[in-house]
Amino acid sequence: MRLSAKSGLTALCLLMGTVSMPSSVFAGYDLNYVGEMETYTAVYEDTLVHLARKHDLGFVEVRAANPTLDPWIPGEGAEVILPKRHLLPDTKREGIVVNLPEMRVYAYLNGDEAPYTYPIGIGREGLATPTGETSIVRKKEGPTWRPTPRMRKEDPKLPASVPPGPENPLGTHALYFGWPTYAMHGTNKPFGIGRRVSSGCIRMYPEDIKKFFEQVPVGTKVTVVEQPIKLGWIDNDLYLEAHPDMAQAIKMEETGVVEQQTFREEDMERIMEMAGEYNDRINWPKVRAALRERTGYPVRIARNLDDVVVTDDVVAPEEKEGGTVFDAASKSEKVESSSVVEEPSFVPAKGVEQIEESHAGEAEALNAQDALVEIYGEDAAQDEAAALGAVKVKPEYVVYDSVPPRKPGIETEKPLTLNN
Angle (deg, nearest 10), helices 378-387 and 368-376: 120
Task: Return the DSSP state at 191.
Answer: G
Query: What contacts 154, CB < 8 A, 6 or more positions away?
Result: none
CB 131 within 8 A of CB 150: no
Q: How far apart are CA 132 and CA 109, in angstroms?
A: 19
Q: Which is the catalytic residue, given 50, 86, 173, 201?
A: 201
* N-to-C CA span, the chain: 74
Q: Does the annotation mark 359 as catalytic? A: no
Q: What is the DSSP string of 66-105?
A: -TTS-SS---TTPEEEE---EEPPSS--SEEEEETTTTEE
In 75-195 the beta strands, taken as DSSP E runs, fall at 79-82, 86-87, 95-99, 104-108, 116-119, 122-123, 132-141, 173-177, 183-185
Q: Does the annotation mark 13 as catalytic? A: no
Q: Which is the catalytic residue, given 13, 50, 86, 185?
A: 185
Which residues carry out catalysis? 185, 201
